[in-house]
Structure 1
Amino acid sequence: MDFKTPQCIEAKDYDGVAEIIVELEKMSDSEEVVEEEEEDEEEEEEVEDSDDSSDSFDSAIEEACLWGEDSVVDQIESGSDKEWEPFPKRSRSVTTTPTASQQSPSPMRRTSTLTPTKKNKKAQGRSSSPRTPRKQVNGASRVLELGEEERWNDITDEDKQPSLFRFHPKRPPGPQLLPGKTYSPLQLFQLFFSSSVVQTLVDNTNKFGKISAAGGKKLKWTPVTVKEFYAFIGLVVYMGLVKVKSIMDLWSKKQLYQFQFPSMVMSSKRFTAISSNLHLSDPEEDAENMKKKGTPDYDRLFKIKPLYTDILSACRSFFQPRRELSIDERMVASKARTGLKQYMKAKPTKWGFKLFILADSASGYTWNFFVYEGKSPFASGKGLSYDTVKTLLDYSLLGHGYMVYMDNFYTSPKLFSDMLKNNTLACGTIRRISIRQGFPSTKNNDLPKRAQRGSIRWYRQGKLLYVKWMDTREVTMCSTMHKAYKGDTVKRKVKSKEGVWDITTVPIPAAVKDYNKHMGGVDLSDALIGYYHVLHKSRKWYKTFFFHFIDIAIVNSFILHQQLADVTGLATLTQKAFREALVMELTKTVRKSKDVSGPKGQSKEEKPTRTSSPSKRTAQDEMCMPAFYGTDATAGRKKCEHCKKDGRQTKTPVFCAKCGVPLCLVPARNCFKLWHEDL
């Protein structure tokens, strides 16, 4: 019988031999997979021990795919790397698994010349896909470095200064008033609370007072006049200067509270009556608006709309801001029961009404604002922060080329890109963990957690610059107007390795430096209001806005006074002196009759006597009255005409209201009298 040797045995001669060979090959493959999985598990344990995850090759592939690159396709298209040529099929023999040195490199575990060594444990294992995609550059194949398209640059990398738009405002920056004219505090205040504005308030208050009196209110109501309402505002401003626990203490007869001024203006009952019946809108139209409640036509701000629109229009009409602007929110304290009230945990004023403000960075002038109603009145579907900035930036009045600074609530790549389309530059902070789309997410060459103070990282995406700076904590900025680093430095107190604190100079990005300089416009306005604010506690929410609008008008008037004084060279009043002069002018007409009768309780015998009898006064004396060029003793002084005759060069702030001639009027030298006697 002929026997076939085992080498010549074919699978067809024995049933089931082919199946056995296939099973043996599967077992051999499974042994290789088990070994590879064990190696991967060991490498993964080493990776988990590492703190830095920026060198993950998974992220390289992902980042390449995000930029529209396919690593495998790029490798094949290059045609210059033999490592990526097809591998020969493994012979299907029933043998033991070859050793690691004898195995052919698996395409799942291939390495390249730029693959990190074993010292970089994190770069090994964890991925069965190709780790280093290649690109064809100038006819040669090179390895695409990890995160090459998205990498944070440091201070040694050079950045280009972006081109800035030409500053083209609609009007010359500064006050929009007659040049060279001297304005008193009252004249500046009346730019915002004009006679027509006050007349509207008087009409609405009288209507509501009549309704209240008909309803059986205890307070007797007498119609208020424009002059009396100005005096009422004067007392409100006065109460911001003189603080008392209760308003009624100003009229108290106790020895501790002897304030003569309020009693000279009006009685406590009259002040209370005007305050109680104060109404900014027409009561009849209020009733019509209330019928629309629950419908889209209902206006939640209707009760403040007349004064709201007038003040807003005046703020934008009489001042043109300079190039740097700032946007921020302001809280007006109130605990009135209304749905307009907001709660902000991080603000010093936690309960109140929220206003979004656009202010001039240099002066703090409130140029534009709107009241937040709980939802954006100009919703565009892009978020409240986006809509707020677009609403405040009125390009039809502002013009173009402005630089706007804002905090992290508003900053977004979409907003900054759209502002660029309107020739407006922007700079703002970014929240440390931002969920908004467009911010760079790469961690390649990012700031370490414990970076040295003054460390800088930056990344440019077209015209958008993102910059990180380590101060006491990490600060992240976005800007369309700055270069990453211009060589600026700032002094900081730094602890050395020896544990000694010392003042040293550290680099600071231009975006951070300019942000600190120009972002405080709204804060400056808030500070000026906070010094002598007239806000009173009230159950009526619209009265809270009335008091705040007075504050806005006074502070803006004071800023106009400062700006005009710089132009004319006249002395500048402090805000306290400005408010004091304003109070005196607002109450002048009603105080005049009070002054003649003397303080309360003064008898007729104690009244001041006239120096001359009316029969001896001439017609000229009745018409020629002294007046002042300004509210300050040295403001706007001119040379006395009577002193010129004697060869003296004496300046005086007094002039004759009829003749228009500057004349001295002091106890030692009454040129006013001598001049008119010589006529």
Structure 2
Amino acid sequence: MAHEEALQMMTESEEESTFPSEEEEDFDDELLYFEERCDAAENPISKEKMPASAHHTRATHKRLSAFNSVENLNICERDSDQMSAAKRARTLSWKAETDVDQVPQTLRFLPAREPGPQLSAADSHSPMSLFKLFFTESAVENLCHNTNAQAARAMAKGHKYKWTDVGVDELYRYIGLIFYMSVLKMSSITDYWRQDSPFSLPFPATVMSRDRYRTISWNVHMSHPDADEENDRKRGTDQHDRLFRIKPLMDIIRLACKAFYHPRRNLAVKERLVACRAKTGMRRCTKVKPTKLGFKFFDLSDSSNGYIVDFSIYTGKNSFPADHGLSYDAVMSLLDRKVLGSGYHVFMDDFYTSPKLFTDLFALKFGACGTYREQRKGFPKTAANSLSRSSSRGSIRWIRDGPLVCVKWMDTQVVSVCSTIHAAYTGDRVKRNIKAQHTKSVPCPAPVTAYSQHMGGVDLSNQLLQYYAAQHKTMKWYRKVFLHFLDIAANNAFILHKELHDNMTRKEFMEELIAELCGVSQKAAPKQSSTEHVPIPGAELTSDVRRNATVGRRICVHCKAVHGKRSQTPWKCQACDVYLCLQLKRNCFLEWHTSL
């Protein structure tokens, strides 16, 4: 099939890209920043050792930053003792918007495939068919196998509940109920099966019973329990895989994300926290928001529509194969030139931005733009001609070092952005409120304008995931991640549908997906209220009591259809207008309406 061929092509191209093997410089601020958000004990930082004769080599000279005043003064002294102090000061001073900046080298955009959905727009794609690109039947079949094995193990340990093996169709209905609960929010799972209440929801009980839903939830498993035990015995060694319980499904979804959609030029990298308070043994975000424990996902998304192209999960040290620091390695792990192509523009926030990352990306033909923290090593430290608190709104200062330009812009406060894509200032202006009902047009650097525009793709992705998030409380950490995988699959399936057909809102898409997963039709006429289905006499009553039981009797439609009998009855249903028996020993009225 075409889908399987696309996945096979992506599998063959999933090879590790080779990146420069130089050591990362010591980023003190990165460690401080990450200590506030994750445990810094798992984020070792290595210092770059510079040999005494390194300044004689061309490669080392490229690594030296023109932003470090001490290093630059040393270089200037070695290159020319005749250079005046005034000239060195001009080299290091910030330039204003009136100074002309050289436009950096334009990277040619050469994507590996035609950007957009890798599906035929001429074909009709239902929400469920697109969702099954990520949760394939083979993947769900494997999920069923592991879930049944986990249930058997639980019952062998003494858990007492009724269990029958779950099949593919039933697991899709189970997923449909999870999405149903994401659209209609209730305070607890049991409320969806509550009866005899003004707030009762009749639909979930028609898909599966409450106890069946709960037992599947307790046992849903993405890896085989026997393999889990073998992996657990390796805990504390390099062979132990902290993501082993989620890896089978995670690999399938990551592969599908890249196989069925190729991103457009502008990409965004950002982290996402999946809240979870279960004990996992993995490093998680704990310092800033103690009530918001969870897993850190690093996402690469298409800035134009929020499609999640790839993602990775932080598990502590050794999360990534390289050793250049978490922020550097997280970005590099998501950018595979063999899969994407070259000439892409990557936008990121200040957690990831560093001179080494940007220059290495530029060497790989990836442009980059992002906010940065001034205390990070390698960024401008000079105060000559820099912005001050008294600088007027819209003031711009910039310094260029080869392809990398660092820009400061005074808005309500100083905004620091660097880029290997843009010139410092190209004449852009933005409107700002100065006083009540008064606006002013002020200059705005090109990197700031582009950053504001394209990092919105990350916010769009967050919004799409949060509108109908499948997350709810659970005791198992891997089930939290399983629910997030459902969110990613539904989000990407909706974006594919929008790109191909653009005829549904997100709510309409989710409603149709839920109906297809649960095996019901959205277009079916709603059942009439039970208050209309009441028995009434089939003929008008007369004053002769003896004739009321015989006049107007008709054959019971239920007796004739089910039992083949021609029993006659004076009763009929007011709403259905069919004759039905209503006796102490034979209640065809109830049986008929139950079977509807």
- The answer (yes or no) to whether the contact 1:167–1:323 under 8 Å persists in 2 is yes
Matches within 5 A, 1:115-134: 134=84
- 2:50 aligns with none
Please say which of residues 336-345 and 267-276 is displaced more in the overlay. Answer: 336-345
Matches within 5 A, 1:153-172: 153-172=95-114
Please state how far the C-alpha of 1:290 moved relative to its aligned partner.
1.1
- The partner residue of 2:487 within 547, 551, 567 is 551
- 1:299 aligns with 241
- The answer (yes or no) to whether the contact 2:151–2:219 under 8 Å persists in 1 is yes
Pair 1:229 & 2:171 matched: yes
Pair 1:579 & 2:519 matched: no
Letter of the 1:162 partner, please give it.
Answer: P
- 1:649 aligns with none
1:252-277 CA deviation, whole Å, 9 max, x = no partner?
Answer: 11313321100110111111111111
- The partner residue of 1:474 within 408, 414, 421 is 414
1:155-183 CA deviation, whole Å, 9 max, x = no partner?
Answer: 11011221211110111001011231110
Distance 1:63 1:291 in 2: 50
- 1:152 aligns with 94
Pair 1:519 & 2:461 matched: no
1:505-554 CA deviation, whole Å, 9 max, x = no partner?
Answer: 00000100000000122221111111111111111000001111000000
- 1:542 aligns with 478
- The partner residue of 2:207 within 250, 256, 265 is 265
CA pair 327-534 structure 1, distance change in 2 beyond 3 A: same
Please state how far the C-alpha of 1:341 moved relative to its aligned partner.
5.3
- The partner residue of 2:125 within 183, 194, 198 is 183
Please state how far the C-alpha of 1:340 moved relative to its aligned partner.
2.5
- The answer (yes or no) to whether the contact 2:144–2:167 under 8 Å persists in 1 is yes
Please state how far the C-alpha of 1:356 moved relative to its aligned partner.
0.4
Give 3-state SS (helix, strand or coil) of 1:253's partner: coil
- 2:141 aligns with 199
- 1:509 aligns with 445
Distance 2:430 2:171 in 1: 52
Pair 1:443 & 2:383 matched: yes
- 2:281 aligns with 339
Please state how far the C-alpha of 1:605 moved relative to its aligned partner.
9.5
CA pair 462-292 structure 1, distance change in 2 beyond 3 A: same
- The answer (yes or no) to whether the contact 2:76–2:88 under 8 Å persists in 1 is no
Distance 2:504 2:290 in 1: 29
- 2:401 aligns with 461
- The answer (yes or no) to whether the contact 1:341–1:351 under 8 Å persists in 2 is no
Please say which of residues 165-174 and 252-261 is displaced more in the overlay. Answer: 252-261
CA pair 349-357 structure 1, distance change in 2 beyond 3 A: farther
Distance 1:325 1:597 in 2: 48
Give 3-state SS (helix, strand or coil) of 2:185's partner: coil
- 1:40 aligns with none
Please say which of residues 460-469 and 340-349 is displaced more in the overlay. Answer: 340-349
- The answer (yes or no) to whether the contact 1:328–1:522 under 8 Å persists in 2 is yes
- The answer (yes or no) to whether the contact 2:398–2:408 under 8 Å persists in 1 is yes
Give 3-state SS (helix, strand or coil) of 2:245's partner: helix
- The answer (yes or no) to whether the contact 1:264–1:591 under 8 Å persists in 2 is no
- 2:360 aligns with 418
Letter of the 1:296 partner, please give it.
Answer: D
Matches within 5 A, 1:297-336: 297-336=239-278
Instruction: Choose between structure 1 and 2 for higher RCO, CA contacts under 8 A separated by at least 6 residues.
Output: 2
Matches within 5 A, 1:601-616: none
- The answer (yes or no) to whether the contact 1:152–1:458 under 8 Å persists in 2 is yes
Give 3-state SS (helix, strand or coil) of 1:144's partner: helix
Please state how far the C-alpha of 1:346 moved relative to its aligned partner.
5.5
- 2:216 aligns with 274
Please state how far the C-alpha of 1:394 moved relative to its aligned partner.
1.2
Give 3-state SS (helix, strand or coil) of 2:425's partner: coil
Please state how far the C-alpha of 1:380 moved relative to its aligned partner.
2.5
Pair 1:563 & 2:499 matched: yes
- The answer (yes or no) to whether the contact 2:348–2:369 under 8 Å persists in 1 is yes
For normalisation by structure 2, the TM-score amounts to 0.75
- 2:370 aligns with 428
- 1:491 aligns with 431
1:319-358 CA deviation, whole Å, 9 max, x = no partner?
Answer: 0000000001000011111233522656798321100000
Give 3-state SS (helix, strand or coil) of 1:355's partner: strand
- The answer (yes or no) to whether the contact 1:321–1:367 under 8 Å persists in 2 is yes
- The answer (yes or no) to whether the contact 1:491–1:503 under 8 Å persists in 2 is yes
Please state how far the C-alpha of 1:595 moved relative to its aligned partner.
12
Give 3-state SS (helix, strand or coil) of 1:468's partner: strand
- 1:66 aligns with 74
Give me the CA root mean square deviation: 3.2
Please state how far the C-alpha of 1:187 moved relative to its aligned partner.
0.4
Letter of the 1:287 partner, please give it.
Answer: E
- 1:24 aligns with none
- The answer (yes or no) to whether the contact 2:374–2:380 under 8 Å persists in 1 is no
Give 3-state SS (helix, strand or coil) of 2:317's partner: coil
Give 3-state SS (helix, strand or coil) of 1:148's partner: helix
Pair 1:239 & 2:149 matched: no
CA pair 61-319 structure 1, distance change in 2 beyond 3 A: closer
Letter of the 2:484 partner, please give it.
Answer: H
1:620-644 CA deviation, whole Å, 9 max, x = no partner?
Answer: xxxxxxxxxxxxxxxxxxxxxxxxx
Distance 1:261 1:419 in 2: 52
Please state how far the C-alpha of 1:314 moved relative to its aligned partner.
0.8
Give 3-state SS (helix, strand or coil) of 2:181's partner: helix
- The answer (yes or no) to whether the contact 2:430–2:441 under 8 Å persists in 1 is yes
Letter of the 2:77 partner, please give it.
Answer: E
- 2:576 aligns with none
For normalisation by structure 1, the TM-score amounts to 0.66
Give 3-state SS (helix, strand or coil) of 1:179's partner: coil
Larger Rg: 1
Letter of the 2:519 partner, please give it.
Answer: K
Please state how far the C-alpha of 1:396 moved relative to its aligned partner.
1.2
CA pair 337-175 structure 1, distance change in 2 beyond 3 A: same
Distance 1:524 1:578 in 2: 17
1:109-164 CA deviation, whole Å, 9 max, x = no partner?
Answer: xxxxxxxxxxxxxxxxxxxxxxxx64xxxxxxxx7346121111001101122121
- The answer (yes or no) to whether the contact 1:451–1:470 under 8 Å persists in 2 is yes
- The answer (yes or no) to whether the contact 1:376–1:387 under 8 Å persists in 2 is no
Q: Percent identity?
A: 45
Distance 2:521 2:425 in 1: 61
Please say which of residues 212-221 and 385-394 is displaced more in the overlay. Answer: 212-221
Letter of the 1:528 partner, please give it.
Answer: L
